[in-house]
């Protein structure tokens, strides 16, 4: 009798343990969207500032050229900034 009871216990115990076990699986899927940082205007600003600074430095360095230059630059139409598609 005792033997039967212990055998029953041995069989029932694992079943009870596994039967009581609960398992929860939560599947999460997160999508983090990173928008590109708008840096173009910043670069544009730096670019313009650098251009201005460099142009100033060059103009200041070559200021003596004014005295050498003949009256040569009388064709501003060709130098208009809006006149695109040029030599560069």
Q: Is 69 in the site for another protein (CB under 8 A)?
A: yes
Exactly one of 23, 33, 38, 81 binds another protein (CB under 8 A); which one? 81
Q: Is 42 in the site for another protein (CB under 8 A)?
A: no
Return d(Cα 9, Cα 11) in angstroms, integer.
Answer: 5
Q: Is 61 in the site for another protein (CB under 8 A)?
A: yes
DSSP string, 23-50: ------------PPP--HHHHHHHHHHH
- Cβ neighbours for 79, distance < 8 A, ≥ 6 positions apart: 73
Q: Is 75 in the site for another protein (CB under 8 A)?
A: yes
Residues that bind another protein (CB under 8 A): 50-51, 53-55, 57-59, 61-62, 64-65, 68-70, 72-73, 75, 78-81, 83-88
């Amino acid at each position: 009798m005792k033997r039967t009871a212990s055998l029953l216990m041995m069989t029932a115990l694992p079943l009870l343990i596994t039967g009581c076990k609960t398992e929860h699986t939560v599947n999460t899927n997160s999508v983090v969207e990173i928008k590109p940082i708008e840096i173009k205007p910043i670069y544009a600003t730096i670019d313009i500032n650098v251009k201005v600074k460099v142009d100033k430095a060059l103009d200041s360095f070559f200021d003596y050229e004014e005295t050498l230059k003949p009256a040569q630059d009388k064709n501003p139409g060709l130098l208009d900034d809006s006149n695109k598609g040029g030599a560069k």
